[in-house]
Amino acid sequence: MEAIGQETFEKAVVSNQLANVLFVSKQTPQCQQVSDLISDLATQDEFKQAKYFTVDIESSPVIAKQFSIISVPTLVLFRNANEVDRIVGADTTQIVQKVQKVLDSNSSVEKRLVSLINQDPVMVFIKGTPEQPRCGFTRKLIGLLNQLEVKYGSFDILSDEEVRQSLKAYSKWPTYPQLYVKGSFVGGLDIVQELHENGDLVDMLKV
């Protein structure tokens, strides 16, 4: 379990789809008990899907205040940088159950993403629809695909916040639109345009 502070907190939480952050204090004995539990969970296969971090509230009071940490130990569970649950105190059974629940939920979301990505051989995740794009980047991508007379499926990420946030973490690409071919992530608009200029896009889209 990695110790993080003010400078590394945001990067740790944002860059990991599932981040569990344990707030502790050296002045509170129960913190070591929970810390030992979390360290053990982090080594078990069924819990490795998440990343685990610890924050000392004395060393990082700004973070503690930001997340309204009023007592320790407190374990805060993040998915896609959003808090989804927290456990205050040293109830080890509750900690294991809640961490497992978030992991199970994330597994269900990931299965849905995989299903959507493979819905058609060529899939675009866009803002709006091909007929009514709701951003300039989407409009350019759709225009390019239509120009190449490519048959593709699409999904409006503005219609589903869970997909919108989770897909960014899944693809490790923070913006939309996103293009997938045969279930594999190709890239955003800039990469697609570069592939087109290089003459590689047409061959890639022959599915």
**23 touches 52 (CB < 8 A):** no
Classify 46 as helix, strand or coil. helix
Q: Which domains does the chain possess?
A: 2-110 (3.40.30.10), 118-204 (3.40.30.10)
pLDDT in tens, 171-199: 989 899 999 999 999 999 999 999 999 98
Q: Return d(Cα 28, Cα 71) in angstroms, integer.
A: 9
pLDDT in tens, 105-124: 888 888 899 999 999 999 99
Average pLDDT, the chain: 93
CA atoms within 13 A on the CB side of 195: 18
